[in-house]
């Protein structure tokens, strides 16, 4: 049973990513066709073709290795001479560009003259190339939204889950013991008569609306006697408690301890359904974190490389390949300590996070990523706009072929990154 659940978790991620890849490519294909560009191929995966069919002049198919996908748009590179400026590229680079143009020309058919991508206005190029990563962001939004709405979000309430027996300080150099010692004073909550199920509605005369508010009030009143109003069995009841001074971890995310007021209660957590506004807010935070992760990607890849050769332990927040993500999904799916609802929510959240990363990564303005083509289209718009304003001749379409050396270098780096992460996820997986 455990093995079957593990396989189910892995398959859920693999199939989910394959569907995401296909939808990403549809994000390019649909607007390209709308704008009149001929699209001869749409494929999920690379390598040997496992299945394909032709519809509307486009071959749709699946290949053996589902590590990506592509759509072929006719006329991505302008023909030689579209940009009339003399080339200063080295001979070897010019030959590389020339070979790429010839490969593009071999795909042209009669009637393609007005169906080539490079002839589109700059704004249409931006729409076509941003369509793929935008689809990934939308997938991420809807998957996160489904989890927040259907499964819910854990929210701490002001209802008491348990009452402490004694006051135990949380020290950085000492592990909190599960039982009270004879020297530990009785917890203020127990002395006050608080019970499991009590809902705290007032503390020291201040109406309570959230646990965060209550926690801050308790901490701000060390060694003071206050009136606590609770709702117990539907009736209000006033209790008197004298808070203790206790050494607890600070709430600012740091690891140091502070002396604050202590009551001694553990709140309950309820799963609360959240809507689109909450999802948008969370997506904003996730997007910011993703951008920061992209900025740290080179250093973290270096850390992965050192983990592979045994120089250091692999960091828990290091990037992972499809192999690593699938492994994590399989482990959670087969964990008997996690209920079915949380397993499903975790796998969906994992898939949503991958889509968010892929979408943001593809907006990086470097070829062969979609962002590189978007940057080229925007540069073309600026260049032609300046020419119009200054009364100069139209400089024409931006020649993306001039950036092919950068594209090939980036493609090589991406291949190395993929191989490194796949190998690391096999020999030095994230613990």
pLDDT value of residue 195: 92
Number of domain units in the chain: 2
- 237, 272, 307 - which closes a domain: 272
Give domain status of residue 254, yes or no. yes
Give domain status of residue 291, yes or no. no
Give domain status of residue 375, yes or no. yes
Mean residue pLDDT across the chain: 87
Q: Does one domain contain both 205 and 260?
A: yes
Q: Does one domain contain both 192 and 263?
A: yes
The more confident residue out of 76 and 177 is 76
- 252, 272, 292 - which closes a domain: 272
Closest CA to 375 of 362, 393, 357: 362
Give domain status of residue 262, yes or no. yes
- 213, 245, 272 - which closes a domain: 272
The more confident residue out of 251 and 407 is 407
Q: What is the pLDDT of residues 216-228, one digit of tens each?
A: 999 888 888 999 9
Q: Does one domain contain both 15 and 106?
A: yes
**Average pLDDT of the residues in 27-54:** 93
Q: Does one domain contain both 126 and 167?
A: no
* Residues belonging to the active site: 25
Give domain status of residue 222, yes or no. yes
pLDDT value of residue 253: 57
CA distance 219 to 260: 5
pLDDT value of residue 84: 45
pLDDT value of residue 152: 92
pLDDT value of residue 42: 94
Residue that the structure tokens 């050192």 belong to: 306
Structural domain that includes position 236? 156-272
Give domain status of residue 182, yes or no. yes
Q: Does one domain contain both 174 and 203?
A: yes
Q: Does one domain contain both 131 and 233?
A: no
Give domain status of residue 373, yes or no. yes
**Above 60 in pLDDT, residue 176?**
no
C-beta pairs of 221-230 under 8 Å, 24+ apart in sequence: 221/261, 222/259, 222/260, 222/261, 222/262, 223/261, 224/261, 227/202, 228/192, 228/194, 228/200, 228/202, 228/203, 228/204, 229/200, 229/201, 229/202, 229/203, 230/160, 230/194, 230/198, 230/199, 230/200, 230/201
Q: Does one domain contain both 92 and 27?
A: yes
Q: What is the pLDDT of residues 231-257, one digit of tens each?
A: 999 899 999 988 887 767 666 555 667
Q: Does one domain contain both 13 and 98?
A: yes
pLDDT band of 11, cuts 50, 70, 90? very high
Q: Are the CB atoms for 320 and 301 separated by under 8 Å?
A: no
Q: Does one domain contain both 212 and 166?
A: yes
Q: Does one domain contain both 238 and 169?
A: yes
Q: Does one domain contain both 7 and 116?
A: yes
* 3-class secondary structure, 71: strand
Please state the pTM of the whole predicted model: 0.84
Q: What is the pLDDT of residues 181-217, one digit of tens each?
A: 777 788 889 989 999 999 999 998 899 999 999 989 9
CA distance 403 to 393: 23
Q: What is the pLDDT of residues 374-397, one digit of tens each?
A: 999 999 999 988 888 888 888 888
Give domain status of residue 65, yes or no. no
Which helix (H) or strand (E) is 132 found in, with range? helix 122-146
**Above 60 in pLDDT, residue 81?**
no
pLDDT value of residue 82: 46
pLDDT value of residue 255: 60
Q: What percent of the chain has pLDDT over 70?
A: 92
- Over its C-alpha atoms, the chain yields an Rg (Å, rounded) of 29
Q: Does one domain contain both 103 and 8?
A: yes
- Find the CATH number of the domain harbouring 250: 2.30.42.10
């Amino acid at each position: 049973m455990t093995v079957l659940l593990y396989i189910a978790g892995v398959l859920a991620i693999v199939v989910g990513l394959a569907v995401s890849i296909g939808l990403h490519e549809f994000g390019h294909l649909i607007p390209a066709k709308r704008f009149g560009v001929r699209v001869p191929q749409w494929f999920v995966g690379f390598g040997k073709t496992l299945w394909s069919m032709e519809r509307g002049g486009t071959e749709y198919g699946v290949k053996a290795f589902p590590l990506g996908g592509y759509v072929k748009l006719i006329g991505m590179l302008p023909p030689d001479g579209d940009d009339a400026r003399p080339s200063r590229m080295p001979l070897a680079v010019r030959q590389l560009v020339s070979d790429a143009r010839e490969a593009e020309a071999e795909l042209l058919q009669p009637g393609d003259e007005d169906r080539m991508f490079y002839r589109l206005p700059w704004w249409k190029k931006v729409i076509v190339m941003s369509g793929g990563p935008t689809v990934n962001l939308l997938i991420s939004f809807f998957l996160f939204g489904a989890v927040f709405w259907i499964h819910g979000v854990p929210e701490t309430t002001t209802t008491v889950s348990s009452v402490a027996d004694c006051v135990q300080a949380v020290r950085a150099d000492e592990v909190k013991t599960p039982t009270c010692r004879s020297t530990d004073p009785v917890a203020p909550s127990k002395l006050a008569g608080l019970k499991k199920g009590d809902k705290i509605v007032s503390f020291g005369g201040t109406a309570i609306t959230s646990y965060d508010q209550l926690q801050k009030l308790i901490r701000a009143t060390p060694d003071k006697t206050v009136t606590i109003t609770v709702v117990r069995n539907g009736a209000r009841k006033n209790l008197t408690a004298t808070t203790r001074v206790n050494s607890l971890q600070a709430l600012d995310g740091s690891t140091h301890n502070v002396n604050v007021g202590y009551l001694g209660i553990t709140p309950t957590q309820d799963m609360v359904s959240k809507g689109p506004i909450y999802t948008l807010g969370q997506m904003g935070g996730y997007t910011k974190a993703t951008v920061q992760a992209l900025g740290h990607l080179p250093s973290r890849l270096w850390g992965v490389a050192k983990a592979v050769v045994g120089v250091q332990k692999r960091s828990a927040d290091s990037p992972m390949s499809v192999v690593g993500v699938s492994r994590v999904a399989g482990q959670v799916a087969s964990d008997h300590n996690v209920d079915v609802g949380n397993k499903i929510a975790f796998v969906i959240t994992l898939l949503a996070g991958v889509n968010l990363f892929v979408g943001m990564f593809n907006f990086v303005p470097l070829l062969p990523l979609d962002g590189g083509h978007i940057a080229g289209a925007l540069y073309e718009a600026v260049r032609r706009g300046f020419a119009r304003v200054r009364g100069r001749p139209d400089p024409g379409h931006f020649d993306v072929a001039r950036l092919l050396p950068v594209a090939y270098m980036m493609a090589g780096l991406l291949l190395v990154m993929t191989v490194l992460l796949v190998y690391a996820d096999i020999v030095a997986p994230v613990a």
